[in-house]
Amino acid sequence: MALFNWAFARRHGGQFLLRIEDTDQARSTGESEQVIFDALRWLNLDWDEGPDVGGPHGPYRQSERREIYARYSEKLVSGGHAFPCFCSKERLDQVRSAQQAAKQTTRYDGHCLNLAPDDVSARLSAGETHVIRMCVPDEGECTFKDELRGEITIPYSQVDMQVLVKSDGMPTYHLAVVVDDHLMGITHILRGEEWVTSVPKHKLLYEYLGWQMPVLIHLPLLRNPDQSKLSKRKNPTSVTYYRDEGFLPEALLNYLGLMGYSMPDEREIFSKQDMLEVFDESRISVGAPIFDPVKLAWLNGQYLRAMDADEYAARVASWMLNKERLSALVPLVQERAEKLSDLMPLVDYLVGARKALSEEDFQHKSLERKDVVQVLHHTLAEFDKQRSWERDELFELCQKMAQHLDLKFRDFLFPLFIAISGRSVSLPLFDSLIFLGADLSRWTLVDNALTRNFAFDDFVAAFAFMTKVALLAEKADHHPSWHNVYNTVKISLNTHDAGNTVTDKDIALATDINACIA
């Protein structure tokens, strides 16, 4: 998305703004923000305004614009275009369940829309927990134009009365993005096609506030080779992963440029500047581009072979032998090495030379196969949720998981040692995880262990989500059906562990659970 936005702005003499959309405080951290900066800088995609460079439209972090959003939410409420909603989570869950049972579109039922003004004032004065929702017409439809897809029509019966301000006072994406795009003078919006169904909400907000909506261009989403939406479980999705694996920024940009776009002369290898000089948004395809790591590796190889020997050596040095990486390696190897040539055998797995593993490599006298599976899946699930990547935090997290699985800590760590290093004795595991970083560590677990050696059917894969199911089951008062789901899966898994045949019903259940929880 960033590449096409950058190319569009530069081609048309516009400004490219970097805005940090961090209204989800639980997911947004200083570390995640820095990852964005680092990735864009590594790709050489420069911006004209942003939180680090300033500009006339700041602040550029949505978390710092809370008072601005509050003014416009109040304006929407006073104008009759939004309203306070006091509905509890329990009530909303019941409404949603009833709609699902009736095979209806799940949406807010307007319960608080027509509350008496005196009642609303009294409840607000009492400090009752509430959100602010937008009004949506009861009937009719919304028609809008997408520059690539033409006119699109969505009935209002399919549009939810979206929450605009959460109970903690923070705006949702929908209010923040409309306010920011207007106040920052955004004329064209290039974003993923998954936002097409949100346009009616945004169009209404523009109309309610008396503003003109920017031109819309919804870009196609990248797909895995099996046509599923690109996800980190099937392909690495982080730019920093490709940087750390030794891909070149110009090769990755070139490949991303091929995703949904073609040069007028149909060539496959082109620079960022080549693309900029002829960029025409009408050449963007709405088809689902396939992200193929093999094709990317081939393209990266073309760039490497086009270099002279001096440039190639300089790139290798800047990637692997730079002072920062060596400084991180030295403490790990200095006390273990007897000569300088010991360096590479000790750190080979940290710089790309990872042994191809088989299931036999994970065999352990104290662990059954299902134990190994649980360790790998639970660890990956928990690593996916980590917003920071610190040694002590990872150590404590693994200790808790070992206790949860009723395993000795040393036994719990064994499959992780194997998956990360390819051997049972290696440099300290948690130091290795820190050196590799979050993205490379996660993908090593996926690619080197789970995908290659423990790629079971949907039924067994459902076990990866058992912790999440258990958490939902704890909320039985809110979700009584989850007790049945949890117990049924436990029974089915015990049956499977006993060596009995997994039935089609079991697999169907597991598939449904995967779909619900993923």
Catalytic residues: 232
Closest residue by Cα to residue 281 from 163, 187, 344: 187
Q: Which two tokens stand for residue 141?
A: 């439809």
Q: Which two tokens stand for residue 162?
A: 């979206």
Contact assessment for residue 180 and residue 17, using Cβ atoms and an 8 Å cutoff: no
Write the Ramachandran bin of 406: left for phi over 0, alpha for psi from -120 to 50, otherwise beta.
left
Q: Whole-angstrom Cα distance, residue 265 to residue 375?
A: 51
Contact assessment for residue 484 and residue 512, using Cβ atoms and an 8 Å cutoff: no
**50: β partners:** 54
Q: Whole-angstrom Cα distance, residue 18 to residue 61?
A: 9
Angstrom distances, CA of residue 239 to CA of 192, 220, 267, 443: 17, 19, 24, 13
Tokens 């693309």 — which residue?
Answer: 275
Pairing of strands 188-192, 215-219: parallel
Q: Whole-angstrom Cα distance, residue 440 to residue 350?
A: 10
Q: Which two tokens stand for residue 273?
A: 């500047």
Intra-chain end-to-end CA distance of the chain, in Å: 24
Find out whether the peptide bond into 59 is cis, omega within 30 degrees of 0: yes
The H-or-E segment that residue 216 falls in is: strand 215-219
Helix axes 504-517, 481-497, angle to 10 degrees: 130
Exposure on the CB side of residue 476, measured as CA atoms within 13 A:
8
Q: Which two tokens stand for residue 356?
A: 């191809």
**235: β partners:** none
Residue 224 CB partners (closer than 8 Å, separation 6+): 230, 231, 234, 235, 290, 291
Contact assessment for residue 395 and residue 456, using Cβ atoms and an 8 Å cutoff: no
Closest residue by Cα to residue 427 from 352, 331, 358: 331
Q: Whole-angstrom Cα distance, residue 461 to residue 450?
A: 10
Contact assessment for residue 230 and residue 221, using Cβ atoms and an 8 Å cutoff: yes
Residue 205's CB: how many other CB atoms inside 10 A? 24
